[in-house]
Structure 1
Amino acid sequence: MSSIDALFERTRSENRAALVGYLPAGFPSKDLSIRAIETMVDAGVDLVEVGLPYSDPVMDGPTIQAAADVALAGGTRIRDVFDVVKASAATGAPTVVMTYWNPVERYGVERFAADLAAAGGAGLITPDMTPDEAEEWITASTAHELSRVFLVAPSSTDERLAMTAEAASGFVYATAVMGVTGQREQTSNLAPELVARLREVTDKPVGVGLGVSNGAQAHEVAAFSDAVIVGSALVRCLLDHDEPDDALAALRALVADLRAGVER
């Protein structure tokens, strides 16, 4: 059983959704990104997504783009991402990397899988990699016992939902809205239907992301999903505060609110 499988077994026994938190490695700095992740886990995040900063995102909204720009300007490289993963995994929280596929391909798929596993990483989320194009990654991830988290969207056909769920491990990432990432005033009304369609083809855990920004929304999403995924709202805590202590305090307060939401 992988660390992600064990996490979902535990949260299901506790009759709650898991709380998943995303932050880019190297933002606002390498050291502060590690402190921020440690703060998130201490405040209640169950699973950590470490973002690999990318210069040409197609799915990220302005908040995460701004954070990635800061990380890249600070010199963040893939080696730094693995250092952040190692520190995150040391907290005891299963830790995955979220990245577009080009950096993995340039680094070397087998090499990336080996180094991610060596850092204690539990898997990889690949927003622009579909299972029917992922033969090399499926081979490498299997060899290094890494989870493969693929994305589905409201526009996915039933056939594609089934194919994606079959190839995924750890959990299936359901993007709750069409469009780029970012905080929203309300959660998508497409999300429950998408999760229900996934339930028809798989019993693997389903995490819902894109838009959750507070405990009330987390509670709403937790009612029909296995995991509530939060990114932009957490990043915003660090963007909005110049002083590290203030940023971490804001982050801790938000995570506490989100965790209370998934437990209500």
Structure 2
Amino acid sequence: MDYIDTKHVAAELKSRLQKAFPGVKFNVRKGTGTASAWISVYWTDGPCTADVEEHTCPMQGAQFNGQEDRYESTDNTVTVTVKGRKVTGEPLVDGINTHQEISDDARKAAAALWSDARDGKDPAVHSNGGFHGAMVIDGHSIAANYARTQVLQIATEVVLPQRWAAAKKQATAQAARPATAHEEGEEGAEGLTLQHTAEDGTTVTGTRLGDGSADVLKRHGFKWHRKNQYWYAPGSRDQQADTEFMAAVAADLRAENLTVTTAQPEPIPTA
């Protein structure tokens, strides 16, 4: 029986996760020191932990038996590519930890749902104000707890599943829609649109949850407009387009393998 080193299992796991959940960025880390046979997986928003663990569990070579205080083989085998050669063997992995992180935007959406259910109260003000009663949000039972904990539960059980379902539905619809000749032959026919208008300022539309655009746009100072569902650059309304700024934003978005169309700025009317 061949044994597959933890680092090769981690590389294969990351590849499988990216194929299974397109648009979601996974950070797969191999442990160090005494935890060198462990792998940790981190991602933001996107699929739930149970969905991710459907892919991580088959990659474990052992699991801990608490009753007997020892590790036992799972009899799993994996196939990985090592120096261009396919190798199949038992993974030298004692365990894989999964960590789903929740974005600030998802937390804000959850806080808004909490506030609506609490007659407009601010969960930040009442975060340490004792227990709050149970509630039902979009058919999900939220247990009695501190406001901060309830907001976290709403984000995990309501906001993120709804957003991930919408993202998958959109991806399925795009995959099923036949591409036109224009879309097949021209870069930027699909994807993000970066434009500047006097009315809205500099905006980016067409982003999707987990496509990598949010981190880039936040670095450039963009904010998410919940009502209009686009990213905007604060202070750019009624201003002349900053073409150098727009070019830098477009370049960073394309560096994340995103397709970006830059609309021509509106001409400045003369007197």
Give the TM-score range, shorter chain.
under 0.3
Between the two structures, name the one with larger relative contact order (CA 8 Å, sep ≥ 6).
1
Larger Rg: 2
Name the structure where strand makes up a greater proportion of residues.
2
TM-score (norm 1): 0.25
Name the structure where helix makes up a greater proportion of residues.
1
